[in-house]
Amino acid sequence: MVWDFIQNQVLAMKWLNALIGQGLTSAGLDIATRLGGSLQFFLYDVIKITILLCFLIFLISFIQSYFPPERSKKIMGRFDGIGANTMAALLGTVTPFCSCSSIPLFIGFTSAGLPLGVTFSFLISSPMVDIGSLILLMSFFGAKVAIVYVVVGLIIAVVGGTLIEKLHWEDQVEDFIRNAQAVDIDAPELTRRDRLSYAFEQMSSTFKKVFPYILVGVGIGALIHNWIPEAWVQTVLGSKNPFGVVLATLIGVPMYADIFGTIPVAEALLGKGAQLGTILSFMMAVTTLSLPSIIMLRKAVKLKLLVVFVAICTVGIMLVGYAFNAFQFLFM
């Protein structure tokens, strides 16, 4: 009962949709028409995602201020074997990371003696799973889907890292990285005020960076929602197409977009009869891998390892898609 209220009104903001509907109706627009419906979808999603984005980035950044990579590195160093991979996957969810600093990060981890597989567990989990995606998915698809998505994402990170470890391809890391020396530095002392102001700055800079993607994402979502025939979506991404997951993943891999921009497209496709697993594969592929991040990583590792890394992620994401599709009846 209480959870239903949280789910529908706090996370999914159904009241907002009703409010916008009323507003549009009193402005003389019929929201039952395509145009009115598109407009309602667009306004509702843009406002909802903006509120969630600001709230989530603020919260995440505050938590992240406790886990700079310099500190996460030290924590991971205390674990061995699969424990280290698991720790890396978990820390990947709370450590701030952007692909532009993947090389210093790689050097830092490697020179601290962290096994290659542990570094990769971190690299897989970091973009794929975070508290933001957890709450965002709860808002759009419900708590069950969100929790399973996060757990499965962590499993891919741990298994993927462990597989890479088993290859013993340390020579596949570029020489300048293996030869680099790095030292431990202490995290600067931060007061709560420092952390709050850091969180606020992150929130405003992320908002500025991501807002155009949200507009594009919601725009596409609104188009799909009201203009694309259901039969098309069902044929390509629904249960009729056994390769929907493969297709969604392959389209998603090179794409660079934020989860905030991806989710309205996913939501609209789901509403049109696309399968849940197919949609989640698409989202995972978009957020985990992208052409810019792959190019950046190529500077740190040689081609063979890069290909294996991309392959492991891609196959893992497809497996998740098929598993979700097979058990979709449990979630919807």
Q: Does 191 bind another protein (CB under 8 A)?
A: no
Window contacting another protein (CB under 8 A); options: 16-24, 31-39, 50-58, 184-192:
184-192
* Measured distance CA(221)–CA(214) in Å, rounded: 10
- In the complex, the smallest distance separating the C-beta of residue 318 from another protein, rounded to whole angstroms, is 31
Give least dist CB 87 to another protein, A: 17
Among 5, 176, 327, 331, binds another protein (CB under 8 A): 176
Here the tokens at position 11 are 């996370």
Give the nearer residue to another protein in terms of CB position, either 82 or 180. Answer: 180
Interacting span for another protein (CB under 8 A) from 106-114, 116-124, 220-228, 257-265: 106-114
Interface with another protein (CB under 8 A), residue from 184, 227, 304, 326: 184
Q: Rule CB under 8 A: which of 111-150 touch another protein?
A: 111
Nearer to another protein, 32 or 100 (CB): 100
Greatest alpha-carbon pair distance for the chain in Å reads 68
Of residues 10 and 185, the one with the C-beta less far from another protein: 185
Number of residues that bind another protein (CB under 8 A): 26
Least distance to another protein, CB of residue 63, Å: 15
Residue 183 interacting with another protein (CB under 8 A): yes
Would you count residue 272 as binding another protein (CB under 8 A)?
no
Q: Which stretch binds another protein (CB under 8 A): 3-11, 178-186, 264-272, 316-324?
A: 178-186
Q: In this chain, which of 19, 24, 62, 70 binds another protein, going by CB under 8 A?
A: 70
Cβ burial, residue 98 (10 Å; 0-12/13-18/19+): exposed
**CB burial of residue 3 (10 Å; 0-12, 13-18, 19+):** exposed
Q: Is 279 a binder of another protein (CB under 8 A)? A: no
Binding track over 50-69 against another protein, x by CB under 8 A: ------------------xx
Exactly one of 12, 19, 29, 103 binds another protein (CB under 8 A); that residue is: 103
Cβ 225 to another protein shortest distance, Å: 35
Q: Could you say which of 181, 193, 208, 303 contacts another protein (CB under 8 A)?
A: 181
β partners of residue 301: 173
Closest CA to 249 of 292, 205, 153, 313: 313
Using the minimum distance from each CB to another protein, give the nearer residue, 116 or 284: 116
Rounded to whole angstroms, the Cα distance separating 128 from 199 reads 21
* Calpha distance 284→34 (Å, rounded): 30
SS3 19: helix
**Would you say 296 and 252 are in contact if contact means Cβ atoms under 8 Å apart?**
no
Q: Which two tokens stand for residue 142?
A: 């419900």
The letter for the amino acid at 309 is F
Can you give the C-alpha Rg of the chain in angstroms? 21
What is the nearest approach in angstroms of another protein to the Cβ of residue 298? 13
Tell me the C-alpha distance between 199 and 156, whole Å.
29
Distance, in Å, from the CA atom of 81 to the CA atom of 92, rounded to the nearest integer, reads 17
| Per CB under 8 A, 293 contacts another protein | no
Determine the Cα–Cα distance for residues 27 and 107; give it in Å rounded to an integer: 58
Q: Which residue has 């674990």 as its token pair?
A: 79
User: What single string gives the DSSP state of each residue in 22-41?
Assistant: HHHHHTT--TTSHHHHHHHH
* Binding-site ranges for another protein (CB under 8 A): 68-70, 73, 96, 100-101, 103-105, 107-109, 111, 176-177, 179-185, 188, 198, 201
